[in-house]
Amino acid sequence: MTYTLFLVLIMIVAFLLILIIMVQNPKGGGLSSSFGGTGTQSLGGVQNTTNFLDKSTWTLSIVLLALILLSNFAAPITGKADTSSEIQNTIENREIQDIPAQQPATSTTLKDSAQ
């Protein structure tokens, strides 16, 4: 139950983080300068909006990291009782087959050369 809650919260925070990153103006030129978007950068922007987007990006990224780390502790523990793998079970449960021993091959050329 708590693991599902963590997963839902992680998805919501990740979606919000993507939206906030997409809204921000690139400060280093990025791809927008390659496609003729340099004229829009000279207009500037509201300084408070830029600070809010920067702070919210850092906050959401820290929250996302914390949720991911905490979800590890809430993860359901499965397979503790049966830790052996399917291959190991197959090897242990396989019946040993009796293979008849092969007679050593004797070479007729050795017998002929000895006589």
Q: What is the mean pLDDT of residues 15-39?
A: 69
Q: Which residue, among 11, 8, 26, 13, has the nearest Cα to 58 in the 3D structure? A: 13
Q: What is the mean pLDDT of residues 25-41?
A: 54
23: CB partners within 8 A, 6+ apart: 53
Domain boundaries, the chain: 1-15+49-76
- pTM exceeds 0.75, yes or no: no
- H runs (alpha helix) in the chain: 2-23, 30-34, 38-41, 47-74, 86-93, 108-114
Q: Which residue, among 20, 13, 18, 19, has the nearest Cα to 63 in the 3D structure? A: 13
Q: Which residue, among 67, 59, 27, has the nearest Cα to 44 in the 3D structure? A: 27
pLDDT at 91 over 50: yes
Digit-coded pLDDT (tens) for 7-23:
999 999 999 999 999 98
